[in-house]
């Protein structure tokens, strides 16, 4: 068991996004994503299921050309998809990529 304080984590810019992964196993990885005001994450083809939880701020997210706005406290879960996001005022997100599904017992 590990406890992480995501509010105190240093967040790197998108170009260094792999440094934002703070937990990784063979079946999933967890990262912090932070976009500055007017920031964006370019179009990404996600080969895994993804969960985005908005910790702070708001983002316009596009999944397979379907657009939506996510605000603080909201969560988006999608199966493999084409994803992009933009923010007007900045956003901090907890992102989880799930590479395997083992089922529920």
Give 7's pLDDT tier (boundaries 50, 70, 90): confident
Q: What percent of the chain has pLDDT over 90?
A: 81
Rounded distance between C-alpha atoms, residue 11 and residue 33, angstroms: 7
pLDDT at 100: 66
Render pLDDT for 8-48 as a digit per residue (tens, 0 to 9).
999 998 788 899 999 999 899 999 999 999 999 889 999 99
* Cβ 33 vs Cβ 93: under 8 Å: yes
* Cβ 99 vs Cβ 71: under 8 Å: no
**Domain 30-98 annotated CATH 2.60.120.10:** yes
φ, ψ dihedrals at 90, nearest 5°: 100, 155
* Cβ 60 vs Cβ 41: under 8 Å: no
pLDDT at 37: 97
pLDDT at 103: 59
């Amino acid at each position: 068991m590990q406890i992480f304080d995501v509010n105190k984590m240093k967040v790197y810019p998108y170009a260094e996004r792999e440094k934002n992964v703070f937990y990784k196993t063979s079946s999933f990885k967890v990262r912090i994503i932070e976009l500055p005001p007017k920031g964006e994450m370019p179009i990404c083809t996600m080969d895994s299921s993804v969960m985005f939880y908005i910790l702070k701020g708001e983002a316009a997210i596009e999944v397979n050309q379907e657009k939506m706005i996510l605000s603080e406290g909201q969560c988006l879960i999608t199966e493999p998809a084409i994803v992009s996001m933009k923010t007007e005022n900045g956003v901090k997100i907890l992102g989880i990529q799930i590479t395997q599904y083992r089922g529920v017992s």
